Amino acid sequence: MSKVGIAEVQPQDLTLEGVAERMSKHQARIDELVRRYPVKRATLLQVLWLIQEEFGWVPRLGIKWAAGIAEVSPVHAFAVTEFYTMYKQVPPARWHIRVCQTVNCLIQGSEALIAHLEEKLGIACGSVTEDNLFALERVECLAACGNGPAVQIDDEFLYGPEELNQHEDGWHTQAADVDRWIERLRAEAAAHPEWETVDQLGGIILDSLGHPGAPKASGSPNQETYAAAPPAINLNAEGANGKITVHALIAPECSKLVFERSDDDLGFSEVGAIDPSTIKGPPGPKTVTFDDRVDIGKTVYYRAIAHSGNRVATPSSSIAITTEARPEADTEYNLKVLSDEKSGKENGGKKEVNADIAQASEKTANKEEGKK
């Protein structure tokens, strides 16, 4: 709608106290809004909606009053009101018809529909009918392209033949449908001259505990221990000639990772611990490696236990590995990881890394060939 003349349409008899008085009936919602955010400023958009609900539009004193509630400067609130397109800064018509003009709706016939509506209502887009019942506006995408050309009457979408907001797939707005609605609304206006207000916040919950620390809020913050301590995951092992390297992925908060070994997957004992802070890398999860030596040909089991401060996570699932002798090349190794048939314990049982075997031996073979 045209903005020229906004200063002239401000109600002359309205005062800041008058706004406060009219807004007092919305106090429960305002209290709820203040509870929701850590800073009052964040309520600004919502309070402006309440002003629009109460007045039908946003008079400048309303902006100022909202600024007081949100504890921002009046000019900040004014700039915000000017920035967003949906705050009406002039007294509105009873029904606001928005027609999308963006690309999909153009393809689907928005220009024809707008021309039809302009003729039907006898006004150009951007203006109000003489009886002040309808305002017609071209808008950008309404995110209802599937039923294009998208039409909104006040806040309700027209995307079905019968009721507003009754969604029907593949239905397209036709001129006749909008005509029917206009007639229906005209009849409604004749029957009920008083305007109805619509809850502009869509029925917010009124008794939330609120953001911890916010005014009038009673919500309490989360305890750090609500979730389990982060375990080590993705345990993996490789090795040959008795040398074994174990990999594990740990959380950034992990402060110590203990590796344990067992011969029988039952009695584990610690074989080493690693301080992740010594591992360089970007913030985030870290991959920890641990080197160990065992007798060639022996099958051993590893698991890792992650400590985060004084919290100890449940042990990771264990992994079994058997090293084989590869005398032809001491530095190159073949690896064979046995999958444990007894899986099914906690944390999803054993890790299988058989898929890696073929790949690894292939690599080894290639390297050897290259040497020759």
Partner 1 sequence: MKRTPENCPQVLSALFDVTDGHTMSVAAEHGAYSRLETGAGARIFGRSQFEIIEDVFASGIRGRGGAGFPTGMKWRFVPRNGEKPVYLVINADEGEPGTFKDHFIMDRDPHSLIEGMIIAGYALGVRTAYIFVRGEMLPQIRRLNSALQEAYEAGFLGENIKGTGYNLDIYVHRGAGAYICGEETALINALEGCKGQPRLKPPFPAISGAFESPTVVNNVETIAALPWIFEHGPAAYKALGTSMSPGTKLFSISGDVAKPGVYEIPLGMPMKEFFDLAGGVVGDLAGCIPGGSSSPVLSSDECDDATMDYECMKELGTMLGSGAVMPFNTTRDPVLMLQTLTRFYSHESCGQCTPCREGTGYADRVVDAVVAGKGRMGDVEFIQDLADQFEWTTICPLATADAWAIGGFLKKFRSYFDAYLDKSDEKDAGRDVASLQPGGFW
Partner 2 sequence: MTDKIQITIDGEEHSVTPGQQLIQALWEAGVDTPNFCYHEDLSIAGNCRICLAEVEGPRGWGLMISCHMPIRPGMNVRTQRSSEKVVNARKGVMEFQLVNHPLDCPICDKAGECKLQEHYMSDGRGESRMRDDIGKQYAGGPDHQSCDRKGQTRGGKHIDLGDRVLLDQERCISCSRCVRFMREVAGDEQLELASRGDHTYITTFPGEKLDHEYDLCTTDVCPVGALTGKHFRFQQRVWFLKKTNSIVPDDSLGANITIDYNEGQREGAPEYGVYRLMPRRNPDVNKSWLHNDSRMLYTQLTENRLTEGLKHGEPCSLAEANTAMSAALASAKKIAIVASGHATNEDNAAVLALLEKLGDRAELFGGSWLAVGEGDGIARSGDPVANRRGCELLAIPDNLDQLCERVAEFDCLLTVGHDLWAADAEKAVALEGISERLVFSAWKDATASRATVAMGVRAWAEVRGTMVNCNDRIQMLQACPICPNDELMSIWEAVSELSGVEWDSAAAWKAVKARVPQLADVSYRSIGALGQQLVSEAAVAASAESAEV
Q: Name the 3-class secondary structure at 354.
A: helix
Residue 272's binding partner, choosing from partner 1, partner 2, none, with beta-carbon cut-off 5 to 8 A by kind?
none
As beta bridge partners, residue 256 has 307
As beta bridge partners, residue 210 has none
x/- contact string, 217-256, with partner 1 (CB under 8 A)? --xxxxxxxxxxxxx-xx--------------xxxxx---
In the region spanning residues 300 to 359, those forming contacts with partner 1, defined by CB under 8 A, are 313
Contact 248, 351 (CB under 8 A): no
Binding status of residue 333 toward partner 2 by CB under 8 A = no
CA dist., res. 156 & res. 163, Å (int):
10
Binding status of residue 143 toward partner 1 by CB under 8 A = yes
Min separation Cβ 78 and partner 2, Å: 5
Residue 7's binding partner, choosing from partner 2, partner 1, none, with beta-carbon cut-off 5 to 8 A by kind?
partner 2
Q: How far is CA 256 from CA 168, 223, 267, 278, in A?
A: 57, 22, 21, 10
Q: In this structure, what token pair is assigned to residue 37? A: 């955010």
x/- contact string, 49-68, with partner 1 (CB under 8 A)? x-------------------
CA dist., res. 257 & res. 255, Å (int):
7
Binding status of residue 92 toward partner 1 by CB under 8 A = no
x/- contact string, 51-80, with partner 2 (CB under 8 A)? ---------x--xx-------xxxxx-xx-
């809020």: which residue's tokens? 217
Contact 74, 64 (CB under 8 A): yes
In the region spanning residues 2 to 61, those forming contacts with partner 2, defined by CB under 8 A, are 3-7, 60
Angle at 350 between CA 345 and CA 351, to 5 degrees: 150
Question: Torsions phi, psi of 253, nearest 5?
Answer: -80, -5
Size of the site for partner 2 (CB under 8 A): 18
Binding status of residue 357 toward partner 2 by CB under 8 A = no
**DSSP secondary structure string for all residues of 329-350:** -SSS--EE-PPPTT--SGGGS-
DSSP state of 88: -
Binding status of residue 194 toward partner 1 by CB under 8 A = no
Judged by CB, which is closer to partner 1: 19, or 248? 248
Residue 318's binding partner, choosing from partner 2, partner 1, none, with beta-carbon cut-off 5 to 8 A by kind?
none
Judged by CB, which is closer to partner 2: 60, or 350? 60
CA dist., res. 353 & res. 347, Å (int):
16
x/- contact string, 99-128, with partner 1 (CB under 8 A)? --xxxx-xxx--------------------
In the region spanning residues 267 to 306, those forming contacts with partner 1, defined by CB under 8 A, are 283-285
Q: How far is CA 221 from CA 224, 309, 318, in A?
A: 9, 20, 36
Binding status of residue 185 toward partner 2 by CB under 8 A = no
Distance, C-alpha 46 to centroid of its chain = 19
Binding status of residue 88 toward partner 2 by CB under 8 A = no
Binding region for partner 1 (CB under 8 A) out of 127-135, 195-203, 263-271, 356-364:
195-203
Contact 154, 57 (CB under 8 A): no
- Cα Rg for the chain, rounded, in angstroms? 34
| Best CA proximity match to 33, nearest among 49, 19, 53, 56 | 49
Residue 274's binding partner, choosing from partner 2, partner 1, none, with beta-carbon cut-off 5 to 8 A by kind?
none
Binding region for partner 1 (CB under 8 A) out of 17-25, 89-97, 198-206, 268-276:
198-206
Min separation Cβ 63 and partner 2, Å: 8
Residue 156's binding partner, choosing from partner 1, partner 2, none, with beta-carbon cut-off 5 to 8 A by kind?
partner 1
Binding status of residue 6 toward partner 1 by CB under 8 A = no
Q: In this structure, what token pair is assigned to residue 168? A: 């029907």
Binding status of residue 131 toward partner 2 by CB under 8 A = no
Q: Name the 3-class secondary structure at 46.
A: helix
Name the burial class of residue 17, with classes exposed (0-12), middle (13-18) and buried (19+) by CB atoms within 10 angstroms of its CB.
exposed
Residue 301's binding partner, choosing from partner 1, partner 2, none, with beta-carbon cut-off 5 to 8 A by kind?
none
The residue ranges that bind partner 2 (CB under 8 A) are 3-7, 60, 63-64, 72-76, 78-79, 82-83, 89
